[in-house]
Structure 1
Amino acid sequence: MPTSLYTNAAIRTPALPVHAGLSALLVTDGVVTWLGPVEDAPAADTVVDVRELAGENALITPAFVDAHVHATDTGLALSGLDLSAARSARDVLDAVAAFAATLPEGAVLLGHGFDESAWPREAQVPPTAAELDRAAGGRAVYLSQASIHSALVSSGLLTLAEGVAGYDASGWVRRDAHHVVREAAFAGITAEQRRAAQRRALEHAASLGIGAIHECGGPGTSSEDDFTDVLALGRLPELPEVYGYWGELMGAAKAVDLGAVGAGGDLYADGALGSRTAHLSSDYLDGDGCGFGYVTADQVRDHLLDCHRHSSSTGRFVQGGFHAIGDAAITTVLDGFAMAAAKLGGNGVSGAEVLRESRHRIEHVEIVDKALIARFVEYGIVASMQPAFDRLWGGEHQMYAQRLGVARSLASNPMGQLHAVGVTLAFGSDSPVTPLDPWGSVRAAVNHFNPTLRMSAKSAFAAHTRGGWRAAHRDDEGVLAPGKAATFAVWQAPAGLVGTLPTLLPALPDEPLPDLPDCRLTILRGEKIYG
């Protein structure tokens, strides 16, 4: 059986001391079969000198898992109109006009990433549908806001949503109106274009040291064909693995039929803070009301019970889960958990224990207090979180402060607080809401705007590697040790190493952030998927 030996690198593994120096790793048939000092390395059929690939600070770590991805949207964003740098309505219109000039007549112009909260306060008014019509030369235009929970659309698409909740004559649509225009805008994408976008997203993930993603689909997010196409690509040996979550209420049977591991992910209990549709217990400071709740506690209960029925009939866990950002939405979901617990259990086993065994999930978990966190612990709920949300929108001056006020902004995304009481964390990007950027996410968790909510680099790295595997009930994955899967990445660490992790923060607070590691090789179960 062929063997491959990777030598001359620091290796993040429990099988060696943290300061072991240059080490080596042997792979046989997709499994790590030996770890130790370079000088003791056994012979192998193939030898890879990692220091030649990655330089003096060569590092091998378990590959990352991104626990919340939209592959098609990510691929389209990588090749489409990126509006993340726009700082005014004029910037958006100029970008639309330039991009439209590259498209044939009749094409739908798709763009993503405008974030009006980053524009000057006096200019946070995006362009209208009529202005988009003129800029695009009459082409249909769909521009998703950074949160992907609202969009700017041209007049033709806008008319499709008249009378639907979330419609606005300006062309900025939310809620159900957004789902209507999104479906229409994406309907023109061919199956070949869709699969090409998905492949591009997965190849990009592999180039960042990501060995697996959790694809979040469901009505209002993606079609069944879109979802199953991503899962099929994730079974190819040259791409990262894909674990699917289908977010449809009472959809456990469909999730199983589609090949998903869970009936959750983008099952919306509310919207997003960027679109003022996340459901809060108190009003937004810069908008009317406190957002919108899309499910009831009774529906949450019934959905979880549906997942448990299908777990019993299929002989494997069918995870339930919900997208819940605001504290009012999270409260509703947790009330549903309590109601489900009252229906489960027996023979000396409590309903809460049954729920804990299933590791149901809540995505995002941005606005949550200590009492709600205690209920995460009680029911063993996995918190699937995105550290980049705090980096991009947290603190005293960014979008959350505008929407929520400084106090609520600084209390948001409490990853360190959840971790400290034993909640399982699975980190991801929600790409393309934020870019695929695993080391950037680790650094964001370590460098939270609120120092009391920070995590150690060790814990944040674990949440973005082993946490993602554990969230999908793959408990043996995400660690490099003899007998474990050889799924790892090779890194050049330009800022040096701290033990077997890269230097992520400067030595002094006023110094610039150091460069993040650069992926040179990604190995999935012994096979190269990048490098």
Structure 2
Amino acid sequence: MQISALPAERTTLWHNAVVRSPADPGATALLTRGQHIVWLGPLADAPTADLRVDLGGALVTPAFVDAHVHATDTGLALAGLDLSSVRAAAELLKAVAEFASGLGPEAVVLGHGFDESTWGASQTPPTAAELDRAAGGRSVYLSQASIHSALVSSDLLALAADAPGYDASGWVRRDAHHVVRAAAFGQITIVQRRDAQMRMLRHSASLGIAAVHECGGPGTSSEDDFTELLRLSGQGLPEVYGFWGELMGAAKARELGAVGAGGDLYADGALGSRTAHLGEDYLDGERGCGHGYVTAEQVRDHLLDCHRHGMQGGFHAIGDAAISTVVAGFAAADEVLGTDALRDARHRVEHAEIMDKRLIAAFVEYGIVASMQPAFDRLWGGEHQMYAQRLGVARSLASNPMGQMHNTGVALAFGSDSPVTPLDPWGSVRAAMQHFNTHQRMSAKSAFAAHTRGGWRAVHRDAEGVLVPGAPATFAVWRTPAGLSGTLPSLEQHDELPVCVRTVLRGETIYEQQ
């Protein structure tokens, strides 16, 4: 019997470009076959190809990875009620009323992004009763910028009356927030959810992002939300790597299709809602150190459970007290598993904002990947913004010490935590370069690597995130209005950021500017 030969994969020569590659810093062209890069170098030396694509002098770089997102929330925020520019309670109520007027009587008003720390002297938000009136009696759920607290209408508030974090004003935190969030998002239809997820992934591709890490779990998203998003992965869209954050949930995470049992597995809350667990008191509002949600013993047992099931583990931990608890759990797991096993797993901590030398050393020792968001410092760091209000200037300037962590050898993976901060990869690279604390600034090269190769390495895909022969053909093509600095865009503070004109994932164009 004669067996027909398989058709050869088509080759494409991408040329007239500045190609960022360690294999050939002067490359102006690359050749792809199927899903892989097979050659790069000067155009004069290029092999023949089935198709030639002139990139018009554009910059070609590895595509970005956003290492911490919430896809459905982001999609809803892109099409919904954006409260990030609101600067007073009255403005918030006006925005709710205008948005609600375009909805049906049974619809829920979903909004995101209010940040009362930007409201000046009066930072008291509207009450549930005021939201009821503004929304014409509709259910209202408005997440604070951190997504760890929300303003809600009276009907949703009543559902959480017995839960920790309940407040009669309608501003709920902790368990009460999880209750009302589940109720509000439970009113979203399957079609709405899919549309939101598609919108988010398409928007990501338009920004040169080829992969995202979705952080789900109880209190953050439903199992259906999580699995439906994973089914969209790579279907002409960015790839999705899911982390399911449920304590002792490694088997569940695997069943759901996750790559890890971590992400939004909360060791504490957030600085914006005063629920991050700190070693010293908050300085504004109600005094106290926030809330820790796990013990060192639970951290240890969760890590052991992850190793039994061959899963990557991790925790959301922002405050130094919460991170100390997580590190103590790692030390206890080390006594059972050994340091090499922990390091090989590349367990993660999301955010890791309030760190010190002892904690940084522990991250290095145990090989913990720090999934960090440079935009947090840009939006809330320094001497005059939210962190300074909550923590004081000294702790604010010491927060998000990504430069120190990088220099000490901590593996970094950058992301946005969208919709907490916008999907904005070049903005995040620049934020790491322009940290309010000059001692914490990173070079453009290191920050870019954390937002590209760092994201791939955080999911054990070590061959990705670099343009060399044999590597996946995953790259982004950029127009760079501010010019270049070597094979990276100029990213000075007031430079116009690059514009994505094409995103390619494993040889397939998933975005092209029209």
Match of 1:488 in 2: 475
Query: Among 1, 10, 13, which residue is 2:18 paired with?
Result: 10
Pairwise CA distance, 1:106 = 1.2
Amino acid at match of 2:484: L
Pairwise CA distance, 1:177 = 0.3
- Distance in 1 between residues matched to 2:340 and 2:187, nearest whole Å: 47
Cα RMSD (Å) of the superposition?
0.7
Match of 1:90 in 2: 90
Query: Among 47, 51, 55, which residue is 1:50 paired with?
Result: 55
TM alignment of 1:404-415, pairs within 5 A: 404-415=391-402
Amino acid at match of 2:60: I
Secondary structure of the residue aligned to 1:50 is strand
Deviations, residues 443-463 of structure 1 (Å, cap 9, x unaligned): 000010000001000000000
- Distance in 1 between residues matched to 2:472 and 2:391, nearest whole Å: 44
- Distance in 2 between residues matched to 1:128 and 1:205, nearest whole Å: 35
Match of 2:256 in 1: 258
Does 1:279 pair with 2:277?
yes
Query: Among 485, 491, 500, which residue is 1:504 paired with?
Result: 491
Pairwise CA distance, 1:268 = 0.1
TM alignment of 1:182-201, pairs within 5 A: 182-201=181-200
Deviations, residues 402-441 of structure 1 (Å, cap 9, x unaligned): 0000000000000010000111000000000001000000
Query: Among 464, 471, 475, which residue is 2:462 paired with?
Result: 475
Does 1:524 pair with 2:505?
yes
Secondary structure of the residue aligned to 1:328 is helix
Query: Among 323, 338, 341, which residue is 1:354 paired with?
Result: 341
Secondary structure of the residue aligned to 2:497 is coil
TM alignment of 1:154-303, pairs within 5 A: 154-236=153-235, 238-287=236-285, 288-303=287-302
Match of 1:510 in 2: none
Secondary structure of the residue aligned to 1:188 is coil
- Distance in 2 between residues matched to 1:530 and 1:431, nearest whole Å: 20
Match of 2:3 in 1: none
- Distance in 2 between residues matched to 1:476 and 1:389, nearest whole Å: 29
Pairwise CA distance, 1:526 = 0.2
Match of 1:315 in 2: none
- TM-score with structure 1 setting the length: 0.94
Match of 1:126 in 2: 125
Match of 1:314 in 2: none
TM alignment of 1:352-431, pairs within 5 A: 352-431=339-418
Pairwise CA distance, 1:303 = 0.1
Pairwise CA distance, 1:239 = 0.4
Pairwise CA distance, 1:39 = 1.9
- TM-score with structure 2 setting the length: 0.97
- Distance in 2 between residues matched to 1:431 and 1:263, nearest whole Å: 20
Give the length in aligned residue pairs: 503
- Distance in 1 between residues matched to 2:161 and 2:255, nearest whole Å: 35
Deviations, residues 43-102 of structure 1 (Å, cap 9, x unaligned): 211111111xxxx5x100000000001000000000110000000001100000000010
Match of 1:330 in 2: 323
Pairwise CA distance, 1:168 = 0.5
Match of 2:104 in 1: 104
- Distance in 2 between residues matched to 1:526 and 1:65, nearest whole Å: 16
Amino acid at match of 1:146: A
Pairwise CA distance, 1:108 = 0.3
- Distance in 2 between residues matched to 1:339 and 1:47, nearest whole Å: 57
- Distance in 2 between residues matched to 1:150 and 1:39, nearest whole Å: 58
Secondary structure of the residue aligned to 2:159 is helix
Pairwise CA distance, 1:235 = 3.8
Secondary structure of the residue aligned to 1:192 is helix
Pairwise CA distance, 1:354 = 1.0
- Distance in 2 between residues matched to 1:298 and 1:479, nearest whole Å: 39
Displaced runs of 4 or more, over 6 A: none
- The sequence identity of aligned pairs, in percent, is 74
Deviations, residues 22-45 of structure 1 (Å, cap 9, x unaligned): 600101011001101122222211
Match of 1:348 in 2: none
